[in-house]
Chains A and B, each alone.
Chain A
Amino acid sequence: MINLEVPKKFATLVGQAHQMAAEVMRPNSRKYDRAEHARPKELDMLAAVIKGMNEGGALSGAGAAGASRSQNGDSADHAGTRNGSNLATVLSVAEVCWGDVGLLLSMPGQGLGNSAIAAVADEEQLQRFGGKWAAMAITEPEAGSDSAAIRTTARLEGDEYVLNGEKIFVTAGDRAELIVVWASLDRDQGRAAIKSFVVERDNPGLKLDRLEHKLGIRASDTANFVLSDCRVPKGNLLGSPEIKAKGGFSGVMQTFDNTRPLVAAMALGVARACLEETRDRLTEAGIEIDYDAPPIAQSAAAAEFIAMEADYEAARLLTLQAAWMADNGKPNSLQASMAKAKAGRVGTEIALRCVALCGTVGYGEGELLEKWARDAKILDIFEGTQQIQLLVIARLLLGKSSSELK
């Protein structure tokens, strides 16, 4: 039966995530925006508290680790539909990002690499890597969105893979305990040969090159690495080592079906923070928002606010849809990319328009709006840019291969 309200059973989870966002994220937002590259130690305490709760604890879904294959231990609570960990995770991620998206990305144990592990690791690997903070290393200087073109190689030598190459833009790469590295087993075999490997952060073959200075999400470290004869045990390859001509790469890409709704959820969190702040400022300025009166019959500011809310609503429901489909074992590549595309772009648009509506209050560093407008932009870029999402969606809708629709 069609119902698009968030179920009551998630109220505690969302409430706790909100509390964390309001009491830990927000008060530290400006501090770590200014102190780029300083480790937010407040989060270590928080992570310890979360770890202290049992696995099923309400906040366990507050990061990327919560998104995973369907039916991940959730029991169907109603014949017909399932509201499980994917839905719980997008809700809590959005809530924490209402507090601060940079700090969420710096949450120990909640890296995007954790999603990759959760999505494709076998039982033994889950045992070894579970509970550790895992970053994701895909991008290279010559391969960004075109992840099939990555040059990092992995060569099997005895019981070890030897990795060589360069990785850039690794979110939480300096602070994480594990780095999930994408590398090619055989560059002549193209995308099918690309596999992901778990590399311990303290592996001597993994050298930190530098940390980036960024437009926003400065609380989050963005690391560049050089891998030189970096040796990892054979068992650190995630998924099958076999190079399949067909479908091999899709296993790697499958991770994105789980993580794209998460990035969409991050954008929702930032957008809602902007909307709430702006609503307060507009109220102070004497602007009332009337949902019954047509927007054209209201002030331009009120009409603009309703327009922003409408796009927020569309992005939010697209995100919930993608997560709900994942929870119910429905293939959701199309919906995950639609959610990411819509949330990524409206997140940025909303943040920038809110800055404009609030004038110098929005633009000045006295409030957080200007920071949110800087933070929001990354969400339309990482885990697949806006343009990559449109490409993924178009290929699926039009039935085009990547060689036909480039």
Chain B
Amino acid sequence: MPRQQQNLTERSMAIGLKALNRFAASPVVDRLGLRDPAERFLYGASKTTVRTAASAGRTFAAAQKLATPARQPTTKPSGLFDLTPTDEQQMLREAVRDFALHRLRPAALEADAACLAPPELLSQSDELGLTMIGVPEELGGAVAERSAVTAVLMSEALAQGDMGLAVACLAPAAVSTALSLWGDEEQQATYLHEFVGERIPAASLAVIEPRALFDPFKLQTRARPANGGYVLSGVKSLVPRAVAGELFVVAAELEGRGPALFIVEATAEGISVEPEPAMGIRAAATGRLTFEDTSIPASALLAGARPEVYAQCIQLGRIAWSALAVGTGQAVLDYVIPYVKDRKAFGEPIANRQAIAFAVSNIAIELDGLRLATYRAASRADQGKSFAREAALARRLASERAMAIGSDGVQLLGGHGYVTEHPVERWYRDLRAAGLMEGVLLV
């Protein structure tokens, strides 16, 4: 543990993790009282960077290259059933939750309407170091060990503020995690330094395609070997921050090999982007990417198209979406409890009626079940055990049970739940995404 603390402090940027570390880890001071000065320090110093399509022209150039790709080591668990996060996880989770509840939540309504995350919010999120969590220390990462559980806890905490903004904040982290887990030394050298630097690129993991019964293992986006590289063609749907995107990891069927992941820079010829707003997660500025004979170099292929890597990518993405569903589900529960206790009908709080109270109980039961299933899938991933089944089960719960939580959240507020004055209508829309999306995120 001391070693990890040390690394956190050393590796994080001057502001960001280091500052959060200091404040979040201080149990003595009243953090609510301290937060405002802390945040002024944190965010007042932040440089606002507005990214537009024009800034999508970043050139990615190799930094210092290692002899072999760097990977985060995993920690061997004690083998005992345990639901206690490590001190480090606890600290990070609290810091992220503060950010989510006090920064993301107040910005959520406007960002949802604008279909855009405020640039200053994204900068602040970058300073939190989300993209550094999955990066090996040798390459500037912030956390010593590889842990999908840590990523789950962070994702959950962020989505407690707002799912759409959480997706916008986490999208580049999916790319840095993919490169850390599966990139070769060349790919890591070319791209990863950008994700631990001052100005984190807008980046996304694009898997899903616009059609009914979409199956990520049966892709219509194709990669054809040509001229020593590949030619991509196909359409990707609901890609976060697509218009501003500078780097994409794209899932495509590699002829004769099966589904595979490709690193595609936004500057490549033959890519068109258009906004594709959806029912929810609108703050993620989702867009549609079209590849028309887009040529990419041979070095763009990730992990040599190994099928197990692609399967893991899909499974880890599903766990991440389940984690977001947990966070937003918790937001619903925390919101409806005081509401039903305050709201009076027939002379007493509606919480005194079983029809209302039981709905609240069921939200809590299903939320906790989903949370535990999500943690189990992630912890199995960390232990190198198979987790396809567990990821599928967590996803099923996110898809059905979390959706019902969103629906009940609106229902419990009645007409008030249907208007944007209360956030439950947004959570209703956002929660639908959690059981439907593929890719985009990685834990």
Query: Do A and B interact with each other, yes or no?
Result: yes
Instruction: Encode contact with B along A58-83: 1 for CB under 8 Å, 0 otherwise.
Output: 00000000000000000001101111
A307 touches B82 (CB 8 A): no
A1 touches B86 (CB 8 A): yes
B365 touches A393 (CB 8 A): yes
A390 touches B361 (CB 8 A): yes
Instruction: Encode contact with A along B342-360: 1 for CB under 8 Å, 0 otherwise.
Output: 0000000001101001101
B215 touches A318 (CB 8 A): no
Instruction: Encode contact with A along B377-411: 1 for CB under 8 Å, 0 otherwise.
Output: 01110010100111111101100110000000000
A83 touches B80 (CB 8 A): yes
Measured in the bound complex, the distance between the Cα atoms of B80 and A313 in whole Å is 18
Measured in the bound complex, the distance between the Cα atoms of B79 and A87 in whole Å is 14
Tell me if A242 is interfacial: C-beta within 8 Å of chain B: no
- The segment out of B2-10, B231-239, B367-375 that lies at the interface is B367-375
Tell me if A285 is interfacial: C-beta within 8 Å of chain B: no
Write out the residue numbers on chain A whose beta carbons fall within 8 Å of the beta carbon of B380.
Answer: 5
Tell me if B366 is interfacial: C-beta within 8 Å of chain A: yes
Tell me if A3 is interfacial: C-beta within 8 Å of chain B: yes
**With A314-B397, A397-B361: A294-B352 Cβ-Cβ less than 8 Å:** no
B217 touches A293 (CB 8 A): yes
B341 touches A318 (CB 8 A): no
Instruction: Encode contact with A along B253-275: 1 for CB under 8 Å, 0 otherwise.
Output: 00000000000000000000000
Measured in the bound complex, the distance between the Cα atoms of B390 and A310 in whole Å is 8
| Most chain A CB atoms below 10 A, which of B89, B311, B314, B396 | B396
Tell me if A369 is interfacial: C-beta within 8 Å of chain B: no
B79 touches A7 (CB 8 A): yes
Measured in the bound complex, the distance between the Cα atoms of B365 and A31 in whole Å is 37
| Most chain A CB atoms below 10 A, which of B83, B365, B385, B391 | B365
Write out the residue numbers on chain B whose beta carbons fall within 8 Å of the beta carbon of A399.
Answer: 341
Write out the residue numbers on chain A whose beta carbons fall within 8 Å of the beta carbon of B368.
Answer: 318, 321, 335, 338
Measured in the bound complex, the distance between the Cα atoms of B364 and A405 in whole Å is 17
Closest 9 CB pairs of A and B: A314-B369, A394-B357, A317-B372, A310-B396, A4-B376, A291-B392, A393-B361, A310-B393, A81-B82
29 inter-chain pairs at a CB distance below 8 angstroms, sorted by A residue, are A1-B75, A1-B86, A2-B149, A4-B376, A4-B379, A7-B81, A78-B78, A80-B78, A80-B82, A81-B81, A291-B388, A292-B388, A293-B217, A294-B215, A295-B396, A310-B394, A310-B397, A310-B400, A313-B373, A314-B372, A318-B368, A321-B83, A338-B364, A390-B358, A397-B364, A398-B337, A398-B360, A400-B351, A406-B354
Write out the residue numbers on chain A whose beta carbons fall within 8 Å of the beta carbon of B379.
Answer: 2-5
If A292-B392, A317-B376, A398-B360 are given as contacts, then 18 extra A-B residue pairs at C-beta distance below 8 Å, sorted by A number, are A2-B375, A3-B82, A4-B372, A4-B379, A7-B79, A81-B82, A292-B311, A313-B373, A318-B368, A324-B81, A338-B368, A341-B361, A390-B362, A391-B361, A394-B357, A394-B360, A398-B357, A405-B351
Chain A 379-402 residues near chain B, CB threshold 8 A: 387, 389-391, 393-395, 397-400
Tell me if A6 is interfacial: C-beta within 8 Å of chain B: yes
Tell me if B84 is interfacial: C-beta within 8 Å of chain A: yes
B373 touches A310 (CB 8 A): yes
Which of A1, A313, A398 lies in contact with B77, CB distance below 8 A? A1
A390 touches B84 (CB 8 A): no
Write out the residue numbers on chain A whose beta carbons fall within 8 Å of the beta carbon of B357.
Answer: 390-391, 394-395, 398, 400, 405
Cβ-closest chain A residue relative to B149:
A2
A265 CB → nearest B CB, Å: 14
Chain B 152-180 residues near chain A, CB threshold 8 A: none
B396 touches A306 (CB 8 A): yes
Measured in the bound complex, the distance between the Cα atoms of B375 and A2 in whole Å is 8
Instruction: Encode contact with A along B331-347: 1 for CB under 8 Å, 0 otherwise.
Output: 00000010011000000
Measured in the bound complex, the distance between the Cα atoms of B438 and A297 in whole Å is 14
A313 touches B86 (CB 8 A): no
Tell me if B67 is interfacial: C-beta within 8 Å of chain A: no
Tell me if A342 is interfacial: C-beta within 8 Å of chain B: yes
**With A291-B392, A292-B315: A83-B81 Cβ-Cβ less than 8 Å:** yes
Tell me if A320 is interfacial: C-beta within 8 Å of chain B: yes
B75 touches A6 (CB 8 A): no
Tell me if B85 is interfacial: C-beta within 8 Å of chain A: yes
Tell me if A49 is interfacial: C-beta within 8 Å of chain B: no
B81 touches A3 (CB 8 A): yes
A307 touches B83 (CB 8 A): no
B259 CB → nearest A CB, Å: 11
A275 CB → nearest B CB, Å: 12
Write out the residue numbers on chain B whose beta carbons fall within 8 Å of the beta carbon of A400.
Answer: 351-352, 357
B373 touches A317 (CB 8 A): yes
Write out the residue numbers on chain A whose beta carbons fall within 8 Å of the beta carbon of B378.
Answer: 2
Write out the residue numbers on chain B whose beta carbons fall within 8 Å of the beta carbon of A294.
Answer: 213-216
Measured in the bound complex, the distance between the Cα atoms of B355 and A391 in whole Å is 10
Tell me if A404 is interfacial: C-beta within 8 Å of chain B: yes
A2 touches B82 (CB 8 A): yes
**With A292-B217, A390-B361: A398-B340 Cβ-Cβ less than 8 Å:** yes
B354 touches A306 (CB 8 A): no
B375 touches A8 (CB 8 A): no
Tell me if A349 is interfacial: C-beta within 8 Å of chain B: no
Write out the residue numbers on chain A whose beta carbons fall within 8 Å of the beta carbon of B373.
Answer: 310, 313-314, 317
